[in-house]
Structure 1
Amino acid sequence: MTVAVDQPVPDFQAQATNGLSVDLAELKGRQVVLYFYPKDSTPGCTTQGQGFRDQQPAFEAANTVVFGVSRDGLKSHENFKAKQGFTFELISDKDEALCQLFDVIKLKKLYGKEYLGVDRSTFLIDRDGVLRQQWRGVKVPGHVDAVLAAAQALNQR
């Protein structure tokens, strides 16, 4: 089963940085942004993470918690988070359970070789656990601002 806009997101549990166990059901009452990215410490992922970091106060004002998600392990996540001064947690999805739930594993090509990788994607979940907006095949420039605007608008409802 994969998620769909205007449908409840199935509850999930995942391990994140700072020893946090993320449980979607426990986040009810807050909006949630899950942004999936390919790999820690790569240029696009670093720029995207910095954008979410820099807009963190505005997301908090919109009653929205942000999580970055990739297949990297917690140790890699902790290093990436510390080096970049991220103020939000990173979820480790080594078993690809969240990647499969949100259908973000896609066939990609690099230097003529095909492989399965994470398609940069972002999902906005409302206070009741319903998926309200999704962005797939994300290009980094301007993306964080678009997500923030959507979170602010949703928070006004």
Structure 2
Amino acid sequence: MAVISNSFKEQLYRPIHSEDIGSEPPDTSRFIVPKSCQKSYLRLVAPWIASTFSLALITGYLLFQQRNSPAYLATSLPAFQTDIHDAHPYISYEERVFSGRLAFDEEIGKVYRDIDLSAPQYFGLPSPEIDDAWADLMRGEFVRMTDEEAAPYTPELNKAPHSDDYHFE
């Protein structure tokens, strides 16, 4: 426990302006914050206000730009802009619905897999049907190119090591 000297206690608990009691009112200038402190406070706060305002402006601008970009507005693009432009007319999209969701039966208290036998099965024990479904799903993943088709791109395009063919990427 800290020991406080008697002189400190007297200073600490002495009423403010006790010597002025009964005489003229105390000098209030000691209680007003000097203007130099107000200026230094403003100097400390001003950079934070400026940086917060700048950050808000930049964030608003970037969000506005993103929402007006073609990638944000388009529901589906024919291809990525980095793809080979000659292939754009031949690219199409296909939507697949996967069956086999996991469901919970509250009556028996167990999880089961809801299987739709009319749809292709992609999950389960290994079987030729599952392999065929995946082969059909992934068809054309690596489209082969002839040497003539690859000729304009050969400085940057390399042959795939596993098949020794050129592939569209």
Which structure's residues are more often strand, by fraction?
1
Q: Place the TM-score, normalised by the shorter chain, in its bin.
A: under 0.3
Which structure's residues are more often helix, by fraction?
2
